[in-house]
């Protein structure tokens, strides 16, 4: 009796044992995806990624029917997919100093019901290179390029007092703005830069920096017109006017909005060799300074107000507009978050880049006590309370290293993600493209990108997507783009 019961119990276990054997006994890879059966209504896609270093994530996106989107960082099998065409797109990734490029970058795979399709992405290592791609034709002595955030147009500033619109490689016939009748172009004068209001999409305001016939520095606000590619030239409101007597150089040249929504203006020391009028160290003068004002409520009666955190507010004998001083000719400066980069053009020997927190007002960058990290005109000087540059280079014999720094921007675009956070700069005499990565007030990862020189580089620019441009005195605008992998 007992034997019969035992035999029946064992026989009842046989189907379960066969099922366990067919399923591998439950000891298989828990991450594996079984192949769809012949009667399935969905399929699967196996994506295999190879040749990346351990710990380095791939950048692969799979898209398909029914708005399907899946980002992958490595090999993976996607199950329960609707039948149809799927696109597998892979992007470059960076590990250390190497850039890994996928092959292919894009492929199409058909997923059938009841089957598993496959796609292979193989990464190959290469050293990142950069090159220049000319955009548009030739311009008349360009000094700057800019664009509102998200705008596809590029606005090209010409020294003579004209701003032109460049879109899809074509320059509009009618200028965006023509104020040539009020611009002095002698010496280092001219229309030198522009800045779009942070709220440009709503209010249509933009600001220009130019030198007028009296050689004064002027920052003026204009408004767009009902026409999409033409501004209203009659809408001008003078925001800042800085007297600049006697000399026709060292006008500074940049107007820009900071991340705090305030307007910054970089003025030169008034010209002449060695700041003969002593403006840069004089807090009663607005020359040789970085000015900061609030223009959000600008009107004819009150074109700006003084931010409460400006360091010299309500201090007798000191101009409340001053944010920083001790500058010779801050032709270009830039912001990156709360970090401020000032490229200050030197006298005869040194070019410098000053880096500081935007929260630090009242810094003295040393001119004309010092040129870079060297005492100016003497072997010994009092450096107490001076903020020395984070980076500098000497001109060298016959200006072999350069003669006048052209400051650029910290890269935050999307086309070259491996360069995020790197600051780019050039030199008017040498036309190189160089970069470094700042860590606080020190720099590292210095690199010369060994580009073919575009000529005398007068400025950098940035478009609505955050990509960078170089402006050549020869009249050409170049976009900085990825070069062939080395």
Q: What is the pLDDT of residues 308-344, one digit of tens each?
A: 999 999 999 999 999 999 999 999 999 999 999 999 9
Confidence of residue 148 (pLDDT cuts 50, 70, 90): very high
Q: Is 190 helix (H, G, I), strand (E, B) or coil?
A: coil
Who contacts 152 (Cβ-Cβ below 8 Å, separation ≥6)?
Answer: 167, 168, 464
pLDDT tens track for 126-138? 788 999 999 999 9
Could you give the 3-state DSSP secondary structure of residue 159?
coil
Peptide bond into 104 cis (omega under 30): yes
pLDDT 10s digits, 168-185: 999 999 999 999 999 999
Q: Where are the beta strands (DSSP E) in 104-247?
A: 106-111, 116-127, 130-135, 142-146, 154-158, 162-167, 170-171, 177-178, 191-196, 205-211, 217-224, 231-242
CB 335 within 8 A of CB 235: no
Residue 6 banded pLDDT, cuts 50, 70, 90: very low
∠44-50-54 over CA atoms, to 5°? 115
Which band of pLDDT confidence, cut at 50, 70 and 90, is reported for residue 36?
low
The residue whose two tokens read 């399907």 is 68
H helical segments located in 407-478: none
Could you tell me which residues come within 8 angstroms of residue 228 by beta carbon, excluding any fewer than 6 positions away? Answer: none
> Residue with structure tokens 């800019």?
146
Helix (H) or strand (E) holding 9: helix 2-22
Mean pLDDT rounded to a whole number for the chain:
92
């Amino acid at each position: 009796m007992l034997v019969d019961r035992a035999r029946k119990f064992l026989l009842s276990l046989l189907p379960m044992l066969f099922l366990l054997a067919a399923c591998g006994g439950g000891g298989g890879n828990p991450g594996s995806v079984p192949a769809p059966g012949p009667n399935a209504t969905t399929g699967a896609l196996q994506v295999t990624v190879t040749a990346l270093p351990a710990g380095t994530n791939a950048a692969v996106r799979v898209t398909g029917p029914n708005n399907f989107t899946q980002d992958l960082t490595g090999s993976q099998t996607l199950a329960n997919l609707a039948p149809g065409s799927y696109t597998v797109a892979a992007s470059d990734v960076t590990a250390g100093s190497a850039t890994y490029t996928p092959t292919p970058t894009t492929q199409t795979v058909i997923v059938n019901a009841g089957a598993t399709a496959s796609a292979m992405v193989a990464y190959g290592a290469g050293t990142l290179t950069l090159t220049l791609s000319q955009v548009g034709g030739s311009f008349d002595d360009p000094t700057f390029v800019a664009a509102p955030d998200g705008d596809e147009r590029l606005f090209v500033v010409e020294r003579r007092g004209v701003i032109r619109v460049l879109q899809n490689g074509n320059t509009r016939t009618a200028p965006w703005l023509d104020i040539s009748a009020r611009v002095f172009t002698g010496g280092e004068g001219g229309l030198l830069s522009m800045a779009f209001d942070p709220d440009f999409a709503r209010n249509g305001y933009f600001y220009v920096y130019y030198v007028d016939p009296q050689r004064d520095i002027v920052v003026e606000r204009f408004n767009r017109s009902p026409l999409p590619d033409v501004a209203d030239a009659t809408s001008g409101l003078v925001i800042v006017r800085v007297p600049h007597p006697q000399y026709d150089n060292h006008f500074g040249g940049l107007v820009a909005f900071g991340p705090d929504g305030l307007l910054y203006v970089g003025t030169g020391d008034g010209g002449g060799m060695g700041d003969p009028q002593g403006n840069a160290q004089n807090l009663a003068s607005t020359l040789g300074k970085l000015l900061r004002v609030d223009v959000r409520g600008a009107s004819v009666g009150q074109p700006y107000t003084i931010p409460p955190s400006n360091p010299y507010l309500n201090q007798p004998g000191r101009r409340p507009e001053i944010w920083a001083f001790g500058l010779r000719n801050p032709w270009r400066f830039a912001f990156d978050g709360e970090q401020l980069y000032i490229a200050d053009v030197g006298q005869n020997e040194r070019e410098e880049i000053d880096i500081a927190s935007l929260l630090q007002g009242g810094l003295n960058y040393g001119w004309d006590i010092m040129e870079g990290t060297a005492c100016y005109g003497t072997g010994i000087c009092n450096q107490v309370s001076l903020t020395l540059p984070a980076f500098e280079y000497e001109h060298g014999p016959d200006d072999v290293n350069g003669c006048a720094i052209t400051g650029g921007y910290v890269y935050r675009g999307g086309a070259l993600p491996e360069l995020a956070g790197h600051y780019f700069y050039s030199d008017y005499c040498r036309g190189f493209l160089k970069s470094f990565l700042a860590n606080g007030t020190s720099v590292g990862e210095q690199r010369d990108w060994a580009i073919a020189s575009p000529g005398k580089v007068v400025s950098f620019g940035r478009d609505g997507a955050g990509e960078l441009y170089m402006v050549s005195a020869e009249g050409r605008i170049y976009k900085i783009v990825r070069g062939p992998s080395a």
